[in-house]
Structure 1
Amino acid sequence: MEKSEVILLNVGGYIYNTTRATLVKYPNSTLGLMMKEDTLFSKDQDGNFFIDRDGQMFRYILNFCRSGKLCLPQQFSDYDLLENEAKFYEIEPLVTSIKSSRKQAMKKYQGFNYIEVVEEKSYYFLHSTYVRTVTSLYGRTDDLKALPPDFVNFPENLLTDLGSNYSKLTINKCDVRLQIGEFLSERGWVKEHSDLQVSSSIEDTGYSNKKYKELTYRDVWKMYKKND
């Protein structure tokens, strides 16, 4: 097929026009493999390739394939969501760029400390319902260490990979996000932003359909005090 061929993609209900050459720029990525083995992927009622992922985040994925550069708007905050999407598409240079951009963005926070709380709930429906919850925290290491030990354990699960003063912490407990929010609020932290992302899919197991549903809650908290 011609690399200049125009391809229409339906990503979570958002329609994108691009070329085959753009989609195969990273041939070992999910998009590259989709163009090689297009019979393995679903199509919508109009014949467009259908990908059941976040349609809004895909604009950054596609632009990176076009230019090789990560271009984000000012005050962009959905780094965890975008990184998750980049990992799904298996574009390693993009994953690296997102991590670098997150570090730079966190350095720009002046005059206040910052904690991002992300809770991911995965529901699996087959013969019964199984729920898995993972909560991730991003912020200054000293602020994360100030959280009650009932919520977190240190230092085994503390990853200082976001810069010298910042860390990422993963907690495998249910409903920790709300408890952390209450704790921060009582100590003067202000919730600046909160949102919810929902995605779902169905897998044909051969004898029944296995349904998946993912809910991602994101809270951004600020404390107005001087950073180092």
Structure 2
Amino acid sequence: MENNEVILLNVGGFIYYTTRATLVKYPNSTLGLMMNGDTPISRDQNGIFIDRDGQMFRYILNFCRSGKLCLPQQFSDYDLLENEAEFYQIEPLVTSIKSSRQQAMKENQGFNYIEIVEEKSYSIPQSRNFVVSSKNAFPSTCSTSVYGRIDDLTALPPECVYISGDLQTDLVSNYGKLTIEKGDVRLQIGEFLSKRGWVKEYGDSYSSTNVRPTNEIVKEQTYRDVWKICKKK
């Protein structure tokens, strides 16, 4: 294939035109491996089909084109975009998304924010003839990430975060990320914040289903809550 060859992609129902040179800019990424023949490619009548979030792919593709992350004002779907970037295995993009998220939180001068992202994964043998849902799946894995100011994160109750919670901090910006490898804590943290005057500004959830090489069907469910409180003067 020539690098200037035009490639048509169908990503979750969204059609994109690009060149092979753009897709192989990061050779070790999922897109690069696909174009180099190291990863199987699915096709439909429109061209190459990728079963991922089609709306988020515009940011993935633009980063491959320019090497820069360009997001609209008031962008808020950082967890979804980071999840897509991790799927495509573009590490510079993952780093840029995390930096952009921290900057956006700092720019909200009148409030302190805490963002809670809970990710659950359920496995079901593909041979079973029933609808994929968390009710008939095998026991799930669950991981919760909490983003916010360091002093707000360290004030969360120990019964929610456990001593095993992994806190990554940026002392320059005073922001951090708390990773909790434990069962459902999103609602517990939300209840704790509500009792202390925090207001839930935003809540959303989304899911995806993939098939592993072992023929297991994996359903991934992600919940995202954003809480805010007026800064103390």
Whether TM exceeds 0.5 here: the answer is: yes
Counterpart in the other structure of 1:100: 99
Q: CA–CA distance in 1 between the matches of 2:165 and 2:181?
A: 13
Displacement of 1:15 = 2.0
> Which residue in the other structure is 1:19 paired with?
19
Shift of 1:203: 3.0
Alignment of 1:122-161 (within 5 A): 122-126=121-125, 129-154=138-163, 157-161=166-170
In structure 2, the residue matched to 1:220 is 226
Q: Distance in 2 between matches of 1:93 and 1:181?
A: 32
The equivalent residue for 2:134 is none
On the 8 A contact 1:116/1:138 being kept in 2, the answer is yes
Instruction: Determine the C-alpha separation between the residues in 1 that align with 2:171 and 2:72.
Output: 20
Q: Give the gaps of 5 or more residues in structure 2.
A: 129-136
Query: Separation in 2 of the partners of 1:52 and 1:32?
Result: 16
Alpha-carbon RMSD across the aligned residues, in angstroms, is: 2.1
| Higher mean C-alpha deviation, range 134-143 or range 14-23 | 14-23
Gaps of 5+ in 1: none
In the alignment, the residues of structure 1 paired with residue 224 and residue 171 of structure 2 have an alpha-carbon distance, to the nearest angstrom, of 18
Matching residue of 1:85:
84
Counterpart in the other structure of 2:217: 211
Deviation at 1:204, TM superposition (A): 4.7
Q: In 2, distance between residues paired with 1:174 and 1:63?
A: 36
Contact 2:165 2:180 in 1 (8 A): no
Report deviation, 1:162: 7.7
Amino acid at match of 2:36: K
For 1:181-220, list aligned pairs within 5 A.
Answer: 181-205=190-214, 209-220=215-226
Give runs of aligned pairs for residues 32-181 of structure 1, distance below 5 A: 32-37=32-37, 40-44=40-44, 46=45, 48-126=47-125, 129-154=138-163, 157-161=166-170, 163-181=172-190
How far 1:95 moved relative to its partner?
1.8
Deviation at 1:216, TM superposition (A): 0.7
Counterpart-to-counterpart distance in 2, 1:4 and 1:19: 6
